[in-house]
Structure formats: C-alpha cells, structure tokens
Amino acid sequence: MSTRRHFLQKASLTTLALSLPFSDSIAKALGQQEPKVLRVALMGLGSYASRVAEAMKDCSRAKLVGVISGTPSKIEQWKQKHGLSAQNCYSYENVDQIKSNKDIDAVYVITPNGLHKEHTLTLAKAGKHVICEKPMATTAQEGQEMIAACKAAGVQLLIGYRMHFEANTLDIVKKQRAGEFGKTLFFQGLSGFVIGNPSQWRLNKLLSGGGAMMDIGIYSINGARYLLGEEPIWVTAQETKTDPVKFGEGIDETITFQMGFPSGATASCLSTYSLNYLDKFFLSGTKGFAEMQPSTGYGPIKAWTHVGPLQHSHVTHQTTQMDKMAALILDGKLPLIPVDGEEGLKDMRIVDAIYQAVKTGEKVII
Ligand code: NDP
C-alpha cells in the first residue's frame, strides 16, 4: 500500500512538473528552493562593462543590480537602461558605503588595470565578493596584496577569465588531459591587435601597468598554461618597437616570448599592439594536435584537432562566465580551469618574469 501511495505521489509530482515552466518545474515539484541568484554591481562603465551588462541579461544565476562609476551621466543612463535602483548606484568616492547594502553580493571591477588593486581592496573591506578583470593587477606583488585582502575579509576573489568557461576551449583541455594528443610538447600562442587612439589609458603606464602584454599577450600566457596543463619554470623574451612615440617608456608594443615547462614542453608566443588577425593557439603532441583560431576573441571560437573540427555552438562568453561564477560563489562549484586570485597571480608572475627577461636579455627562472 505504502509503495502504491509512494508511486501515486511521485506520479502526481511528475504531472505537476510537466505542467510548470521547465526551468521552475523540477525544483518546485520536488519542493526545492529555486537556485540563488548572485546580485552583481559593475564598477567602471566603459566598453567592456557594457558588453558584460548585455550578456548578463541572459544569465540565470547572476543579475545586474547596481553600478559604481565616476561619471554621473552614465549612472543615469544605466539606471534607465537596466532598471537599477538609485540605492545601488555609487561613485568611487562613496563606494565604501556599499558595505551596508544588503542587495549587492559581488562587484565586478572593470576599470583600468592600474586601479584594480585599489578597487579590490576597497570592495573587500566593504565585505563584497570581487570579480576583477584581467590582468588582475599590474604586478604579482599587487596581486598578492589583493588575494591577502580578500582572504582577510572572508570574500572571494575571481578573475574575469571568460575563456575558462568556453566550450571548445574546455573540450581541448579535457582531450589534452585525457592524453588524446599524446605528450604535448609545444604550444604556440599569437595574441594581438592594432591599438587605436594614442591617448587612451591602455597606453598610459600608470593606468595600464604595461602595453600589449598586460592587455592581450596575457591570453597567450594563460592559454599555454591551460592547454599544456603545466606551469612554466623559465621564460625568455625579446621586445621590438616600431613607434616609440605612441608606445612610450614602459608600454610594450611587441614582445616575442618563450616559456619552458617541467615536462620539457616549450611555448613560443607573440604579443603585439601592431598587428591584426593575431588570435591563434596551436598545441602539438606526439599523437595529435589542436588548433584554435580565433582562440580568445569574443567568438565564435573555431577549433579543430587532428580528428576534425569541434562543433560546440557559440554562447556569449560573458553569459556563461557570470552564471558559472555565480555557481562558484554561491554553491562552491569549482570550474575545470580555476578563475580564482591564485590563478590570476600565476599569470602576473609570468608577466613580471617576461618584463625582466626583456630588460636583462636573460633567461628568467620562475
Ligand atoms: P574602457 O576605457 O572602455 O572603460 C574603463 C572604465 O573605467 C571607464 O569608462 C571609466 O568608467 C572607468 N575609469 C575609472 N577611472 C578611470 C581612469 N582614470 N581612466 C579611464 N577610465 C577610468 O576600458 P575597457 O572596458 O575596455 O577595459 C576595462 C578593463 O576590462 C581592463 O582591465 C581590461 O583589461 C578589461 N577587459 C577585459 C576584456 C575581456 O575580454 N575579459 C575585454 C576588454 C577589457 P566610469 O566613467 O564609469 O568611471
């Protein structure tokens, strides 16, 4: 009898589940609560923040609820466009008041690189989880301070590595880890674009921390690490500059660099602000290869291996990223390729080493 009642109960739950909208049905029918949503404020309303905000409209686990900006007119526009409440909007001067705001869980720092540390420290102190854009800082020392501050405040620090959630990238990483390419002994990363406006912050050392390496070359560093599945132990690097006026002191225009890994694998990479159509990864192993082009742009990412093309459909990177980051912060669900502060720090240590190698002309041991 009890088995029969159990069956009937289950059957009626199933009927109920089928009659509700799909996203709610299972959880509601089983009496579970709907998954929590991460309430996010964006800091720095520039071009990338606009892209993130658009992408977040399709998120199921993350919601844009506030902004922090130095430009009052932008706050007004964003309030209208995204239906934000005035209490969730701040300037850089009063952002410490966010501490008492119970409607914001996390802040996504999308300001110039040279401000990431200061902004992260302020937000950690205010008790908010921080998602910080790449590069996490301008030096490894700054990155360490950011990690320590977030740890001390008991908040999470994530770095905006959107490629760590991209389907083709993840597929190749899984294939590499499963040995499908054999022993992977060579990576090539080409990262670059022609930078425009010479007066932008990206060409101002104080705000950028460096040139193309900080901005775009870091994708090749990061890609080498996740596709080879190892951490480099040395780097060598060479810089060339064709326009010393546009690319002043401390702003690298083009750097070629090499990295060596414990297995004996090597990486050969190019970072530049002076060439377009440079967005390519190549991974070579004893049994096969993987190639991606474009490899880190906004997509669709195109990838193929010795077996043939990968067929994963394109999803806006920042939509997946924000949903997965919400799952990480709210549920502790770890991604295959980490996106925490330590992951950002690993890249910063390599950036530091590359700049040192350029300066000294020597092989730098990491
Ligand atoms: P933008 O110049 O378009 O926007 C930066 C914004 O930061 C400004 O609009 C401004 O917003 C705010 N800001 C605060 N202080 C300053 C200052 N002193 N000078 C200039 N801006 C200031 O840059 P992006 O959006 O392209 O880049 C921002 C960050 O995002 C960088 O770290 C970059 O590396 C990263 N990024 C990451 C990408 C990715 O794919 N993951 C892609 C593009 C960028 P406000 O007026 O609201 O204060």
CATH class of 38-162: alpha beta
Q: Which tokens belong to 66?
A: 């506030």
Helix (H, G, I), strand (E, B) or coil at 281: strand
- C-alpha of residue 115 to centroid of ligand 1, in Å: 10
Kindly list the distances between the CA atom of residue 283 and the CA atoms of 189, 224, 300, 315, 360, in Å, as whole numbers in the listed order. Answer: 9, 9, 19, 24, 29
**pTM of the shown model:** 0.93
pLDDT digits (tens, 9 = 90+) for 290-311: 999 999 999 999 999 999 999 9
pLDDT digits (tens, 9 = 90+) for 328-360: 999 999 999 999 999 999 999 999 999 999 999
Q: Would you call 219 a catalytic residue per the annotation?
A: yes
Q: 70: Cβ below 6 Å to ligand 1?
A: yes
Q: 191: Cβ below 6 Å to ligand 1?
A: no
Q: Which tokens belong to 284?
A: 């070579």
- Please give the single-letter amino acid code of residue 39: R
Kindly list the distances between the CA atom of residue 149 and the CA atoms of 48, 118, 119, 124, 315, in Å, as whole numbers in the listed order. Answer: 25, 11, 11, 6, 34
CATH class of 163-313+340-365: alpha beta
Say if residue 148's pLDDT is above 80. Answer: yes
Distance of alpha carbon 218 from alpha carbon 225, whole angstroms: 11
For 108, phi then psi, to 5°, come to -100, 110
Q: 48: Cβ below 6 Å to ligand 1?
A: yes
Give residue 29's pLDDT band: very low, low, confident or very high (50, 70, 90): low
pLDDT of residue 318: 98
pLDDT digits (tens, 9 = 90+) for 269-292: 999 999 999 999 999 999 999 999
Distance of CA 364 to the CA centre of its chain: 26
CB 211 within 8 A of CB 352: no
Domain boundaries, the chain: 38-162, 163-313+340-365
Q: Which tokens belong to 8?
A: 């009937």
Check 117, 128, 134, 324 and give the catalytic one. Answer: 134
Q: 69: Cβ below 6 Å to ligand 1?
A: yes
- C-alpha of residue 186 to centroid of ligand 1, in Å: 34
pLDDT of residue 211: 98
Distance of alpha carbon 28 from alpha carbon 55, whole angstroms: 27
- The DSSP result for 250-291, as a single string, is T--SEEEEEEE-TTS-EEEEEEESS-SSEEEEEEEESS-EEE
Q: Would you call 134 a catalytic residue per the annotation?
A: yes
User: How much is the CA Rg of the chain, to the nearest whole Å?
Assistant: 23
Q: Outline where the chain has alpha helix (H).
A: 2-19, 22-29, 47-56, 72-82, 116-125, 140-153, 167-177, 205-208, 212, 218-228, 317-331, 341-360
Distance of alpha carbon 240 from alpha carbon 243, whole angstroms: 9
Atom of ligand 1 nearest to the CA of 45: 47
Find all residues with CB under 8 Å of 140, minimum gap 6, and list them. Answer: 345, 348, 349, 351, 352
Q: One fold for both 38-162 and 163-313+340-365? A: no
Check 90, 108, 161, 219 and give the catalytic one. Answer: 219
Among 119, 113, 100, 150, which Cα is nearest to 42's?
A: 119
Distance of CA 162 to the CA centre of its chain: 4
Which residue minimizes the CA distance to atom 15 of ligand 1? 111
Longest dimension (CA), the chain: 86
Identify the residue whose tokens are 């480099």: 232
Among 120, 124, 111, which Cα is nearest to 70's?
A: 111
Find all residues with CB under 8 Å of 254, minimum gap 6, and list them. Answer: 192, 212, 239, 240, 241, 242, 270, 271, 272, 273, 274, 275
Which residue minimizes the CA distance to atom 11 of ligand 1? 44
Say if residue 9's pLDDT is above 70. Answer: no
Say if residue 23's pLDDT is above 80. Answer: no
Which residue minimizes the CA distance to atom 43 of ligand 1? 48
Mutation test of ligand 1: which of 84, 133, 215 has the most ligand atoms closer than 8 Å to its C-beta? 133
Atom of ligand 1 nearest to the CA of 75: 47
Task: Say how many CA atoms lie within 13 Å of 210 toward its Cβ.
Answer: 26
Mutation test of ligand 1: which of 110, 113, 301, 343 has the most ligand atoms closer than 8 Å to its C-beta? 110
Distance of CA 235 to the CA centre of its chain: 23
Distance of alpha carbon 125 from alpha carbon 144, whole angstroms: 16
- C-alpha of residue 48 to centroid of ligand 1, in Å: 7
